[in-house]
Amino acid sequence: MNEPESAPAPDSSKDLLNRPSRARYDKVKHALDLKWRRRAPQAGRMMREIVDGLWDSFGGSPWTWCGVWIPQPDGKAFQPGPARPEPAAAAVPVDGHLGEAFAKGEPRRNGADIAVPVLDKNGRAWAVFQAKASADFDDMDARWIERMFKAFQAIERPESPLT
């Protein structure tokens, strides 16, 4: 009996190569945990180390930008914090998915843009991490990014997170 020829399956390996893997996230988390064991927690330094670690692992493939946004004292905009490959140019309004993530204390995805709140020990947001990529983010990305910032739930909330 002759079996009908089927069309070749689409090659999904190319899509997987462009996606961050759990192992890559775990490697960044492990490196950060080792650094933080030896030092007193400082919010500004820790934010820079997270941004640098994530960028070093995902920058350019597939991430195109990542950084932290800190709310201004008046609450009307976010000022740029640590970012890679270059700092954000200026403050941005609190509306949109950055503001939603901050207000609700939950990650927000908008295709190839993700916003993850940095929460304190009481579950209140005091900054928002944002990443932009050439591929869409999914729930796995949100969970791993939340894990990176979980250490902030155990440190004292500073007056200014950049110090």
Reported pTM: 0.83
Mean pLDDT, residues 85-102 taken together: 94
pLDDT for position 160: 54
For residue 119, report the phi and psi dihedrals to the nearest 5 degrees: -100, 150
Q: Using 50, 70 and 90 to split pLDDT, how confident is the model at 163?
A: very low
pLDDT for position 38: 83
Mean pLDDT, residues 68-94 taken together: 94
Given a contact cutoff of 8 angstroms between Cβ atoms, the answer to whether 122 and 102 are in contact is no
Mean pLDDT, residues 13-26 taken together: 65
List, edge to edge, every strand of the sheet that includes 77-84.
92-93, 77-84, 63-71, 125-133, 113-119, 108-109
CATH homologous superfamily for the domain 21-153: GAF domain (3.30.450.40)
Q: Is 106 left (phi over 0), alpha (psi -120 to 50) or beta?
A: beta
Q: Where are the domains of the chain?
A: 21-153
